[in-house]
Amino acid sequence: MMTKNIRREDMSRAAIVHAILLTYTLVALYPIFLVIINAFKSRKGIFSAPMSLPNAETFSLEGFTKVLARSNFELFFFNSFTVTVVTIVIVLLLASMAAWALSEYKFPGNTWLALYLAVGIMVPIRLGSVSILNLIVELGLINTLTALILVYVAQGLPLAIFILTEFMHQIPKDLKEAARCDGVGEFKIFFAVILPLIRPAVATVAVFTMIPIWNDLWFPLILAPGDGKQTITLGIQQFIGQYVTDWNAVLASLSLAIIPILILYLIFSRQLIRGLTSGAVK
């Protein structure tokens, strides 16, 4: 009788938790759902019944054809993708190496350096937009993807270092010392022993880094607004006019923009799961 009660209590608790999570998921997904259904409607359909699913009367691929025909959509995609992927690679490499140094080696100023890097998590990089713009102009990097990549690396590093340092602390000391006795050099210990072990953390950091970059409008707008260098979020702006907004095109391009980031996310999340199940040290 007792156990039955406890089980029922557990069940109701689980139900409440799931209800909250489900609500949150719905709230988060509904706007995306709206964007996607409206992308497949005619202009008239969007305005007359924005909440309804496309039917035979309102269904139209008008937006997609317009986007693909009228703009450099592939180029915007390519720009966004390049910036995101290159940034992720650089952030992961630099952050994991910095985290390894901070967690493994004792040197003077270790704690201060870690704190200094952590401050970056709390100060939004956009506060420095003016000086960043000045700097980029002086470096002659205005209107280049390099400018965006540099800024995004700076933006992504603090949190990445913070998360990875915590994970590196969890790796047993014996494992590193065993590798040292085994004749493994420091670089090789890092790349062949440590990195594979913190793969779930690396995947987490990759996701954290990737999404704000892909969605960013601010820095592309001030640093690389020129022709041929726009990212996808900036490129879509051409359909938003002062007087007329081409909602078909905007919604269609937004729907398309979800796809690459979704693919990247799937790749990383699989790493995440694989990492967690790969068996721990005793």
Partner 1 sequence: MADLKLDQIRKSYGAVDVLHGIDLDVKDGEFVVFVGPSGCGKSTLLRIIAGLEDITGGDLMIGGDVVNTKSPRDRGIAMVFQSYALYPHMTVYKNMAFGLKLANHDKSAIDQRVREAARILQLDQLLDRRPSELSGGQRQRVAIGRAIVRQPKVFLFDEPLSNLDAALRVQTRIEIAKLHQELKSTIVYVTHDQVEAMTLADKIVVMNAGNVEQVGSPMQLYHHPQTRFVAGFIGSPAMNFTTVHIDAVEQGKVTVTVPGGAKAVLPFDVPANDVGKDVELGVRPEHLSLGENGDLSISGEVDVVEKLGDSTYLYLKLANGDRFTVRAPGHSRIKISETVNAAAEAGASHLFDANGKAYAKLECPAEYSADE
Which residues contact partner 1 (rule: CB under 8 A)?
A: 172, 174-175, 177-185, 188, 192-193, 196-197, 278-282
Q: Between residues 9 and 177, which has the closer beta carbon with respect to partner 1?
A: 177
Q: Minimal distance in Å, beta carbon 101 to partner 1?
A: 18
Q: Minimal distance in Å, beta carbon 274 to partner 1?
A: 10
Q: Between residues 146 and 271, which has the closer beta carbon with respect to partner 1?
A: 271
Which residues fall within 8 angstroms of residue 192, CB to CB, at 6 or more apart?
Answer: 184
Residue 191: both structure tokens together: 């790349």
Q: Minimal distance in Å, beta carbon 205 to partner 1?
A: 19
Q: Between residues 78 and 191, which has the closer beta carbon with respect to partner 1?
A: 191
Q: Minimal distance in Å, beta carbon 202 to partner 1?
A: 13
- CA 150 distance to own-chain centroid: 16
Contact 233, 221 (CB under 8 A): no
**Residue of 184, 205, 191, 213 whose CA lies nearest to 271:** 205
Q: Between residues 179 and 206, which has the closer beta carbon with respect to partner 1?
A: 179
- CA 59 distance to own-chain centroid: 32
Give how far Cα 1 sits from Cα of 7, 9, 44, Å: 10, 12, 62
Q: Minimal distance in Å, beta carbon 109 to partner 1?
A: 19
Q: Minimal distance in Å, beta carbon 177 to partner 1?
A: 5
Question: C-alpha angle with apex 265: 260 to 266, nearest 5 degrees?
Answer: 100
Q: Minimal distance in Å, beta carbon 197 to partner 1?
A: 7
Range 92-117 burial, b when 16+ CB lie within 10 A, else e: beebbbbbbbbbbeeeeeeeeebeeb
Q: Between residues 39 and 189, which has the closer beta carbon with respect to partner 1?
A: 189
Which residues fall within 8 angstroms of residue 172, CB to CB, at 6 or more apart?
Answer: 281
Whole-angstrom distance, CA of residue 160 vs CA of residue 212: 13
Q: Between residues 122 and 181, which has the closer beta carbon with respect to partner 1?
A: 181
Q: What share of the chain is helix, strand, coil (3-state, %, to 5)?
A: 80, 0, 20
Q: Between residues 142 and 171, which has the closer beta carbon with respect to partner 1?
A: 171
